[in-house]
Chain A
Amino acid sequence: MSVLPWCVAAWLFAVGIYGIATSRHYVHLVGCLSVCQSATYVLLLAVGFHWHAGPPIFYDHPPGTPAVDPVVQALVLTDIVIGATVTALLLAIVVQAHKLSGSVDPQRLRPLRPNA
Chain B
Amino acid sequence: MAPAATFLPLAVLLPLGAAAALLMLSHWLPPRSADMAATIVSLLLAVLCGWLAWRGLDQPIVHWFAGWNPASAGRPDVRLGISFAADAPSAAVSAFYALLFAASFVFSWGYFDKVHAHFHVLMLLFLAAMIGFCLTRDLFNLFVWFELMSIAAFALTAYPLRESSLEGALNFIVTNTIASFSMLMGIGILYARTGTLDFALMAHAIAGHDGALAAGGFCLLAVALMTKAAIVPFHFWLSDAHAVAPSPVSVIFSGAMVSAGCFGLFKIVIGIFPLDRAVVAFVHDGLPWFGIVTAILGGLTAWAQRHLKRLLAFSTIAHLGIVLIGVATLTPAGEAGMLLYIGGHGLIKAALFMIAGILLARFNSCDEITLYGRGRSLWPAGLAMAVGALLLANAPVGLLYRAGDVIDHAIGWRTASVAAVLSSALTGGALLRAAARIFLGCSGAPGPERNAPTEREREKSDRPLWLMLLPCCLLLALALLPADLLEPFLRRAARTLLASSNMDAAATAALRQTLPASAFLAPGLAVGLAFLSLMRRRPVSRIARAAARLEMLPFRGLDILHSGFVTDYVVWMALGLGAIAMVFSLT
Contact = CB atoms under 8 A, between A and B. Distances in A.
Interface of A: 9, 13, 17, 20-23, 26, 29, 33, 36-37, 39-40, 43-44, 47, 71-72, 75, 78-79, 82, 85-86, 89-90, 93-94, 96-97, 100-101, 106-107, 109-116
B240 A106 contact: no
Chain A interface mostly:
helix
A37 B181 contact: yes
Nearest to A95: B166
22 contacts: A13-B185, A21-B571, A29-B566, A33-B178, A37-B181, A47-B188, A72-B188, A75-B187, A86-B154, A86-B177, A89-B155, A96-B166, A106-B567, A107-B565, A109-B170, A110-B564, A111-B165, A111-B243, A112-B307, A112-B454, A112-B564, A115-B454
B243 A90 contact: no
Contact of A93 (B158, B310, B571): B158
Nearest to A85: B151
A112 B240 contact: yes
A21 B450 CA distance: 30
Contact of A106 (B158, B170, B571): B170
Given A90-B173, A114-B453, A13 B181 contact: yes
A113 B564 CA distance: 8
Nearest to A74: B140
Nearest to A36: B181
A75 B192 contact: no
B459 interface: no
B170 A114 contact: no
B167 A79 contact: no
B494 interface: no
A93 B167 CA distance: 8
A18 to B, nearest CB: 9
B147 interface: yes
B424 interface: no
Contacts of B161: 96, 100
B174 interface: yes
A42 to B, nearest CB: 10
Interface of B: 140, 144, 147, 151, 154-155, 158, 161-171, 173-174, 177-178, 180-181, 184-185, 187-189, 191-192, 197, 240, 243-244, 306-307, 310, 450-455, 559, 563-567, 570-571, 574
Given A26-B170, A78-B144, A90-B177, 14 more contacts: A21-B571, A39-B181, A43-B185, A72-B191, A79-B184, A86-B154, A89-B151, A110-B563, A111-B167, A111-B244, A112-B168, A112-B243, A112-B310, A115-B453
A75 B166 contact: no
B453 A97 contact: no
A24 B151 CA distance: 24
Nearest to A43: B188
A39 B452 contact: no
Contact of A111 (B168, B178, B184): B168
A69 B318 CA distance: 44
Contact of B151 (A17, A23, A86, A100): A86
B192 A47 contact: yes
Contacts of B454: 112, 115
B452 A114 contact: yes
A9 B563 CA distance: 30
Contacts of B574: 17, 21
B162 A100 contact: yes
B174 A33 contact: yes
A102 to B, nearest CB: 10
A35 B371 CA distance: 46
Contact of B451 (A26, A82, A107, A116): A116
Contacts of A96: 158, 161, 166
B170 A93 contact: yes
> Nearest 4 pairs between A and B by C-beta?
A110-B564, A112-B453, A111-B168, A111-B167
A53 B170 CA distance: 42
B191 A47 contact: yes
Nearest to A98: B166
Contacts of A114: 451-453, 559
A72 B174 CA distance: 25
B191 A115 contact: no
Nearest to B144: A78
A96 B164 CA distance: 11
Nearest to A47: B192
Given A40-B188, A100-B162, A107 B151 contact: no
B282 to A, nearest CB: 21
A75 B140 contact: yes
Nearest to B573: A17
B245 to A, nearest CB: 10
